[in-house]
Chains A and B, each alone.
Chain A
Amino acid sequence: MRYLALAALPLLAIACTATRPSPPPAALAQPPVLLPVPEDPTVSFSISFPAGSQMDPPGKEGLAHLTAALMAEGATTRNSYAAILEQLYPMAAGYEVRVDVEQVTFTGRVHRDHVDAFAGLLLDAVLRPAFTAEDFERLRQRTESYLTRTLRYSSDEELGKAALYAELFAGTPYGHLPEGTVAGLKAITPEDVRRFHRAHYTRDTAVLGVGGGFDPALVARLQRELAALPPGRPALPPAPRPQLEGRRVVIVEKAGPATAISFGFPLAVRRGEEAFYPLWVANSWLGEHRNSSSHLYQVIREARGLNYGDYSYLEHFPEGGLRTMPPPNVPRRQQLFEVWIRPVPNDVAHFALRAAVREVERLASEGLDESSFTLTREFLSKYSLHFADTTATRLGYAVDDRFYGIAPPGHLARFRQAMAEVTLARVNASVRRHLRPDSMVIAIVTENAAALAEALANEAASPITYATPKSPEVLAEDEIIARYPLRIRREDIRIVPVEEMFER
């Protein structure tokens, strides 16, 4: 012991007499996600943080979203937002942010002719947002108007989905839209935004991603400058584990000729887990997004012409009306199985809901047959090529791999490998284990909500007539669908006037 102490003395002396040592340079806690594509003349950027809307303090719903929006679409301490736009303009480049419940991700893409100038502007946005009063008011007003005008009155499909999420995740940190609530937005102050930025944009949680034709010096610069973020690792709230008992219905009452329907239930399997990939095969057969191969599409649109399309999902899929392929950068610890019925005429809403629920129940109880399995597996083996056909999207997937803890070569490679190996037995075993439609939330946007609630509670028959002839097979199946039990109790149906949606 003594020996050790003596031996340590000279070192101590040196330490005391030398100039005060600088602390080890701060660094990002996580290594960057790099996707070099040397022949690509553009560079893609991604900087993400676990600063999503689940971190909103109670009563300030919308804070995470507004903070990120101000960073991406506001002034920095070096430039007004107008000056930033002026500089980005001739580059034909820009950066944007996606805010979901878990992650906030800034992305951008620029021709490498302009990479240094662009990187400087992006770094300013993340490190040096000004949070000016003018930008604050502009973006708060815009978000409020999105909730109170656009979402309530201009897109019944998105409204239906939002109602489903709000009901299913009620009381959890996923229980409000990332954009927040009207009351939450009103309560947020510029000081809240500054505080949120300081607390949640930290060097210990940042994940930097760079793809395309970049130079290693660029990565070094980004890492060095982002290391100036404060340290910290804010505790995440526990992942929501919504417990459903039976079926709950929320009907958003809103005048209009068509009814939008979404329904779903929590899913206890996530990307990267073994059961996920076989389950994807079953879901793709049931409701591949924007694809006429979807079985729901065949039953509701193709055979009966009731609407424009019908799809199902295993992962959150925002902006479904605008995109064909799944978006990156919306990873979640808790997913839901979701069915999206695009607007149907009001008088067939009950029928269409029955038809869709029946198909989900049939899948859950019967599984896929051999020919459907073979075709769907063949489809996905190649269709997955389209999931990420650009460097920016592949970079997004790689960043999501970090979130899910999926080791290289990552989810997309694993997906394709799984398609080569999956068997019908494994698909149906995953279906039996994870698709449990006995409990679900059904969200409906329609007028005459009380009448529909009554019909649902009474299991009233919903016969359908067509203006045009249909085959005997379709008509015979209609008889079954029209009386198909949905097993909804009156006390589990709630009617919400559209004016109250997203209020608090």
Chain B
Amino acid sequence: MQVKLAVAVTVLAGCAAASAAVFPYRFETHTLANGLKVILVPMPAGGLVAYYSVVRTGSRDEVEPGHTGFAHFFEHMMFRGTERFPAGEYDRLITAMGANANAYTTDDYTCYHLTFAAEDLPRVMELEADRFQNLAYSEQDFQTEAGAVYGEYRKGRTNPFEVLEEALRATAFDAHTYKHTTMGFEADIAAMPTMLDYSRRFFARYYRPDNVVIVIAGDFDPAAALELVRRHYGAWKPGYQAPQVPVEPEQTAPRRVEMPYEGRTLPLLAIMWKSPAFDPADPRVAAGLVLGELLAGDASPLYRELVLERRTVQRLLPAFQPSRDPGLWGVIAMVADEGELADVEASVTAAVSTLAAGPVPVERLEGVKKRLRYSFLMSLETPDAVAGALAPMIALSGGAEAVDTLFATLASLTPGDVQAAARALLRPERSTVAVLTGRS
């Protein structure tokens, strides 16, 4: 079967004008009586359908001491089956339909996703609805999966970026659960096999229809799909209990952490600032996307100076991802030599000062806006890409409307807005610098 590209002609319109409606597909949002939200995005996709179940719970929700990493661990447990479809049977059915199935966990949400042939949508819906409502696993399965999670942690420990991230979060946050990574603290991971009862409470508290959004994109009939959703999810009982996520107190002074790394790596430097909570209508959030590009994008003066001309940095990455609660954003650099760390840090600081000191030229700002819009639209090639692009927006805001709202906010940004955001948000007292150096 030929999978035709799904970027419709409407994409052209979206690219041509800074229209408020950037998302190129019509979508429907329905909310069941139990609170389950369903977003249907029919699009030409050569007979493929993507099915995303977005649970608005991530490591942010791990508020109880000793349970860091649990949202991610629970993602693993969701593949352990139900009474009706035990794990082996679930696997066999997913295998038989040749679905591309996986899951991931972030700070703010957990996402289960499958892509498959359209004819298998009824079966997929039956299986997904069943495991979200009737998950059942033995203590033995639970403990075995804890071993696999520990294996995933070990795999990550050889990656210096993961070690840097752990140190950065622990330093930047005092109260909020963003203090730990999605993997969690090692001691908590090691203790996971003893937490069977807690896992059942976790499921009962968070895996509820009023905390889940289903996204279906691709070749399907929306009316028939909605009917299936009602049939399979209608009896799911609501009861989501929102956690009391601690509020991070205002940071008042710069922070810094220097982290040794057991292996040998080029030094890593992260210069981050506290960011605002995601709100697609907040100009500061949209300005953050622009600031990332202006500060450390491929066409930024800093990239030219540090990577191309002085060659003191091998990789320069803007990291301005939005987060549900006030989080962190900034710049990460892989520095060519330990002796250059201070200079690189000073260059980043100087670039920030420049952005705060005066408005960016209008044509530069418009170039960034165009880049962000084209990048987004060009990424929407397949049903999986479309649902995957919507998932974080939905998880952070609750709905797919956030996409158009965010791009409308972006379109309306003025150089003054960007300068104001740089001044207000990229201040030294909001910053945390993390430096990782390996063995020489």
Binding site for B on A (CB under 8 A): 37, 39-42, 81-82, 85-86, 88-94, 109, 111, 113, 134, 137-138, 141-142, 145, 148-150, 152-157, 212, 255-258, 290, 292-293, 301-308, 324-325, 342-345, 375-376, 378-386, 388-391, 394, 416, 466-471
A370 to B: closest C-beta gap in Å:
14
Tell whether B143 is near chain A: CB-to-CB under 8 Å. yes
B421 to A: closest C-beta gap in Å:
21
A91 and B374 contact, CB distance less than 8 A: yes
A469 and B140 contact, CB distance less than 8 A: yes
Q: B154: which of A40, A113, A257, A386 is its contact (CB, 8 Å)?
A: A257
A154 and B98 contact, CB distance less than 8 A: no
B159 and A154 contact, CB distance less than 8 A: yes
Tell whether B115 is near chain A: CB-to-CB under 8 Å. yes
A290 and B102 contact, CB distance less than 8 A: yes
Residues of B within 8 A of A389 (CB): 3, 46, 48, 115, 381-382, 384
Residues of A within 8 A of B96 (CB): 375, 378-379
Residues of A within 8 A of B254 (CB): none
- A89-B299, A145-B314, A304-B144 known; A467-B193 Cβ under 8 A: yes
Residues of A within 8 A of B309 (CB): 82, 134
- A141-B336, A154-B158 known; A92-B314 Cβ under 8 A: no
A412 to B: closest C-beta gap in Å:
9
Interface size for B (C-beta < 8 A) is 78
Tell whether B356 is near chain A: CB-to-CB under 8 Å. no
A255 and B158 contact, CB distance less than 8 A: no
B158 and A155 contact, CB distance less than 8 A: yes
B127 to A: closest C-beta gap in Å:
14
* Cβ-closest chain A residue relative to B5: A40
- A378-B96, A468-B140 known; A109-B378 Cβ under 8 A: yes
Residues of A within 8 A of B48 (CB): 385, 389
Q: B91: which of A153, A155, A293 is its contact (CB, 8 Å)?
A: A293
Complex Cα distance, B1 from A81, in Å, reads 40
B381 to A: closest C-beta gap in Å:
5
Residues of B within 8 A of A81 (CB): 308
Residues of B within 8 A of A92 (CB): 370-375, 378
* Cβ-closest chain A residue relative to B373: A92
Q: 28 interchain pairs (CB within 8 A)?
A: A39-B5, A39-B9, A41-B12, A42-B7, A92-B375, A113-B15, A138-B307, A149-B438, A153-B158, A153-B264, A153-B438, A256-B158, A257-B157, A258-B155, A292-B79, A304-B147, A306-B147, A306-B151, A307-B151, A308-B148, A385-B47, A386-B100, A388-B3, A389-B46, A394-B3, A467-B193, A468-B146, A470-B144
Tell whether B221 is near chain A: CB-to-CB under 8 Å. no
- A256-B158, A469-B140, A470-B144 known; A293-B95 Cβ under 8 A: yes
A152 and B148 contact, CB distance less than 8 A: no
A149 and B5 contact, CB distance less than 8 A: no
A210 to B: closest C-beta gap in Å:
14
Residues of B within 8 A of A85 (CB): 298-299, 303
A446 to B: closest C-beta gap in Å:
12
Tell whether B125 is near chain A: CB-to-CB under 8 Å. no
Residues of B within 8 A of A88 (CB): 298
B266 to A: closest C-beta gap in Å:
5
Residues of B within 8 A of A150 (CB): 265
Complex Cα distance, B11 from A398, in Å, reads 27
Residues of A within 8 A of B263 (CB): 152-154, 256
B132 to A: closest C-beta gap in Å:
18
A308 and B152 contact, CB distance less than 8 A: yes
Complex Cα distance, B152 from A475, in Å, reads 23
Residues of A within 8 A of B100 (CB): 324-325, 383, 386
Residues of A within 8 A of B154 (CB): 257-258, 343, 345
A33 to B: closest C-beta gap in Å:
16
A437 to B: closest C-beta gap in Å:
25
B159 and A155 contact, CB distance less than 8 A: yes
B304 and A82 contact, CB distance less than 8 A: yes
Tell whether B175 is near chain A: CB-to-CB under 8 Å. no
| Besides A153-B158, A308-B148, 16 other A-B contacts (C-beta < 8 A) | A90-B367, A111-B15, A113-B12, A138-B311, A152-B263, A256-B158, A302-B144, A305-B150, A345-B151, A380-B98, A383-B99, A386-B98, A389-B48, A389-B384, A466-B147, A468-B140
- A380-B98, A390-B5, A391-B5 known; A305-B374 Cβ under 8 A: no
Complex Cα distance, B154 from A467, in Å, reads 17
* Cβ-closest chain A residue relative to B376: A92
Residues of A within 8 A of B318 (CB): none
Residues of B within 8 A of A383 (CB): 98-100
A307 and B378 contact, CB distance less than 8 A: no
Tell whether B200 is near chain A: CB-to-CB under 8 Å. no
Q: Which of B116, B117, B264 has the most C-beta atoms of chain A within 10 angstroms of its own C-beta?
A: B264
Complex Cα distance, B154 from A306, in Å, reads 11
Residues of B within 8 A of A292 (CB): 79, 91
B88 to A: closest C-beta gap in Å:
9
Residues of B within 8 A of A381 (CB): 98
A265 to B: closest C-beta gap in Å:
25
A308 and B151 contact, CB distance less than 8 A: yes
Tell whether B4 is near chain A: CB-to-CB under 8 Å. yes
Residues of A within 8 A of B367 (CB): 89-90
A38 to B: closest C-beta gap in Å:
10
Residues of A within 8 A of B299 (CB): 85-86, 89
Question: Mask for B221-238, Cβ within 8 A of A = 1, else 0?
Answer: 000000000000000000
- A138-B308, A155-B158 known; A41-B148 Cβ under 8 A: no
A417 to B: closest C-beta gap in Å:
12
B117 and A382 contact, CB distance less than 8 A: yes
Tell whether B61 is near chain A: CB-to-CB under 8 Å. no
* Cβ-closest chain B residue relative to A158: B158
B98 and A89 contact, CB distance less than 8 A: no
Tell whether B145 is near chain A: CB-to-CB under 8 Å. yes
Residues of A within 8 A of B147 (CB): 304-306, 466-468
Complex Cα distance, B298 from A39, in Å, reads 30
Residues of A within 8 A of B1 (CB): 385, 416
A142 and B314 contact, CB distance less than 8 A: yes
A183 to B: closest C-beta gap in Å:
18
Tell whether B247 is near chain A: CB-to-CB under 8 Å. no
Q: Which of B139, B146, B371 has the most C-beta atoms of chain A within 10 angstroms of its own C-beta?
A: B371
A154 and B160 contact, CB distance less than 8 A: yes
Residues of A within 8 A of B303 (CB): 85
A70 to B: closest C-beta gap in Å:
13
B102 and A82 contact, CB distance less than 8 A: no
Q: Please list the 10 inter-chain residue pairs (A to B) with the smallest Cβ-Cβ separation, ordered nearest first.
A: A382-B98, A305-B147, A468-B143, A92-B374, A153-B263, A383-B98, A89-B299, A305-B144, A307-B151, A40-B5
A137 and B95 contact, CB distance less than 8 A: no
Residues of B within 8 A of A467 (CB): 143, 147, 193
Complex Cα distance, B298 from A141, in Å, reads 19
* Cβ-closest chain B residue relative to A290: B102
- List residues 1-41 of chain B with CB under 8 A from any CB of chain A: 1-5, 7-9, 11-12, 15-16
Question: Mask for B196-231, Cβ within 8 A of A = 1, else 0?
Answer: 000000000000000000000000000000000000
B193 and A145 contact, CB distance less than 8 A: no
Tell whether B123 is near chain A: CB-to-CB under 8 Å. no
B202 to A: closest C-beta gap in Å:
19
A342 and B151 contact, CB distance less than 8 A: yes
Tell whether B346 is near chain A: CB-to-CB under 8 Å. no
Complex Cα distance, B298 from A89, in Å, reads 7
Complex Cα distance, B98 from A325, in Å, reads 13
Tell whether B84 is near chain A: CB-to-CB under 8 Å. no
